[in-house]
Structure 1
Amino acid sequence: MTAYLAKRLATGLATLLVASVVVFCVLEIMPGDPALLMLGMNAEPEALATLREQMGLNQPVVLRYLDWVCGMAVGDFGRSYTYSTPVHDLIGERILVSLPLAILSLILSTAIAIPVGIFAAARRGRPADTVTMGVAQVGVAIPNFWFALLLIYLFAVWLQLVPAGGFPGWSAGLWAGLKALILPAVALALPQAAILARVTRSAMLEVLGEDYIRTARAKGMPRRVVLWHHALRNAMIPVLTILGLQFAFLLAGTIIIENVFYLPGLGRLVFQAITQRDLIVVEGVVMLLVAAVVAVNILVDIGYAIVDPRLRTRR
């Protein structure tokens, strides 16, 4: 198990290094001058030169990259050009919205998808299976931003049960914060639940055809025990893969939903930083999201080893 984890950690570190090079190079070749954007088109050349020097934009590209990477290694993401605030402070404020939103969405998605996938697999070819997978297909096809607008109209405008947007902050209370995240979480969770339900059904159907399942049934085991204790565990590897990908998407891909609901999260921060040409903020947030994706993948690999003990000893 130790060698297995060491290999996964080494792969994750290599991924972070390659991603840092790609992110830095892509953002460096983007058109636009941050100093000119901050001072305006009519800025004096002397003022532009002074600001570029203060921002470190006059240094060689390699030196800027090394300074940036070494700073991130010790938790220093630099200072925002636009907000004149350390980037880690901006990230710390915004992640308190994006992370609970992603976790709540993943919990809702998993709680819906796995039972639905098992239900459909246990009734393969029956009308219940057809209807369930048809609804799941509709859920996959619906764009989440359009679904979010429907939720706002129904629950916020018409029924007035939850706020239509904004975030009061966790200082207003746990319920007030969760209430503001309910609609965004549902808008994110249901399309992902549709995908996960289809994957769960396919994985369960493959496992239900195995000999040990037929043997368990022949021994008279209850159907519920066969499905939940024998088939589900062996079908979890593809499900865990999709769960890891979905959490990464929910954490990094919420730009549209956060703008629809006017949530001050990481997605909205990245959107604002791109429009303001605040490269240091974009680089810091993107690398944080890459690190989160790598960490989730490592956790998924650990989940593989727990579900399938053969992976712990396989060379």
Structure 2
Amino acid sequence: MWRALLNRTVSLLAALVVASVVIFGMLQAVPGDPAAFMLGLNAQPDTVAALRAELGLEGSLVARYLAWTGGMLTGDFGTSYTYRVPVAGLIADRIGVSAPLAAYALLLTLVIAVPAGLLAASRRGGVADWGVMGATQLGLAVPNFWFAMLLVLVFAVSLGWASAGGFPGWSDPVAAIGALTLPAIALALPQASILARVLRSALLDTLDADYIRTARAKGLSRRATVLRHALRNAAISVLTILGLQFSFLLAGAIIIENVFFLPGLGRLIFQGITQRDLIVVQSVTMLLVFAVIAVTFAVELAYTLADPRLRRR
């Protein structure tokens, strides 16, 4: 077990190094000069050169890469070209929106998907099964940004039950959760559809196992068999999807945050791209990549808890 843990840790570190090189290289290859973009078309060359030196854009690519990665290891993500404040401060402000939004959406995903998957698997071939599969197919087909705009039209514009956008801050937790509800629903719908279908398939495979038939032959009810035995053994497949989904919800909410004008990491990346604030884009992107890899690593560790056979490896 310890050897497997060491191998996974080494793989995580290697993935982070490769990701940092790719992110840095791709953004450096973007045409144009951030300093010239900030100063405008009529800027003097000496002024542009002075700003480039101030922003740390001088020097070789290797030196700049090492300075960037070394700063991140100490918590220094650099200084925003646009806002002239530390990027770490911008991230700290925005992650207080993105992380709760992702957790809220993941909770809604579980609340919707687990009962739906259980219902479909326990009523295989029946009306409930067909209904759940049809609903999940619709959830996969509808783009989340279109569903987000539909939610705004219905619940914010027509009914007035929720805010159409913006975030009031956590000084009023009720208002903050209310502002995150529609975005969380828009994010959770396609993820719940995926998870429900995966859970149904995993449960159907498990329900055909010999030990399930033995439990039924001993007089255990179908509901108890599914909840006590089948669901636990199907959890490994679900864990894989959950890890990927949380990573997607945290890193892939750029469109949803812009639809609802939420000051999260996704909107920060979008603003950094439009303003050519490359240090913000590369630092936030690297942070999100780290979150994705770390969650994947945590899911792999969870496998060992869910499946005792993996502990002997």
Matches within 5 A, 1:106-145: 106-145=106-145
- Distance in 2, Cα, partners of 1:304 & 1:136: 26
Does structure 1 residue 88 correspond to structure 2 residue 88? yes
Matches within 5 A, 1:234-249: 234-249=233-248
CA shift digits 1:71-125 (9 cap, x unpaired):
1111110000000010000000000000000000000001110111111011111
CA shift digits 1:243-302 (9 cap, x unpaired):
111101100010110010000000000000011111110111011001101111111112
SS of the counterpart of 1:235? helix
- Distance in 2, Cα, partners of 1:126 & 1:168: 46
Matches within 5 A, 1:253-292: 253-292=252-291
Which residue in the other structure is 2:66 paired with? Answer: 66
The CA deviation at 1:5 is: 2.6
- Distance in 2, Cα, partners of 1:141 & 1:310: 38
Does structure 1 residue 196 correspond to structure 2 residue 191? no
The CA deviation at 1:7 is: 2.4
CA shift digits 1:126-173 (9 cap, x unpaired):
1211111011100110000110111111111111111110001112x1
The CA deviation at 1:2 is: 3.2
What TM-score do you get using the length of structure 2 for normalisation?
0.98
- Distance in 2, Cα, partners of 1:295 & 1:225: 35
Which residue in the other structure is 1:45 paired with? Answer: 45
Q: Do the aligned residues in 2 keep the contact of 1:116 with 1:132 (CA within 8 Å)?
A: yes
**% same residue:** 61
SS of the counterpart of 1:170? coil
The CA deviation at 1:188 is: 0.5
Which residue in the other structure is 1:294 paired with? Answer: 293
Which residue in the other structure is 2:158 paired with? Answer: 158
- Distance in 1, Cα, partners of 2:112 & 2:302: 20
CA shift digits 1:221-263 (9 cap, x unpaired):
1222210110011111111111111101100010110010000
- Distance in 1, Cα, partners of 2:148 & 2:242: 22
Q: Give the partner amino acid of 2:202.
A: A
- Distance in 1, Cα, partners of 2:90 & 2:281: 11
Q: Give the partner amino acid of 1:251.
A: L
- Distance in 1, Cα, partners of 2:190 & 2:132: 14
Q: Do the aligned residues in 2 keep the contact of 1:305 with 1:312 (CA within 8 Å)?
A: yes
- Distance in 1, Cα, partners of 2:4 & 2:107: 28
Q: Do the aligned residues in 2 keep the contact of 1:167 with 1:264 (CA within 8 Å)?
A: yes
SS of the counterpart of 1:80? coil
Which consecutive residues of structure 1, in runs of 5 or more, have no partner in the other structure?
A: none
- Distance in 2, Cα, partners of 1:223 & 1:148: 38
How many residues align? The count is 313
Q: Do the aligned residues in 2 keep the contact of 1:32 with 1:277 (CA within 8 Å)?
A: no
Q: Do the aligned residues in 2 keep the contact of 1:4 with 1:312 (CA within 8 Å)?
A: no
- Distance in 2, Cα, partners of 1:157 & 1:3: 57
What TM-score do you get using the length of structure 1 for normalisation?
0.98
Q: Give the partner amino acid of 2:259.
A: V
SS of the counterpart of 2:115? helix
Q: Give the partner amino acid of 2:203.
A: M
- Distance in 2, Cα, partners of 1:71 & 1:128: 55
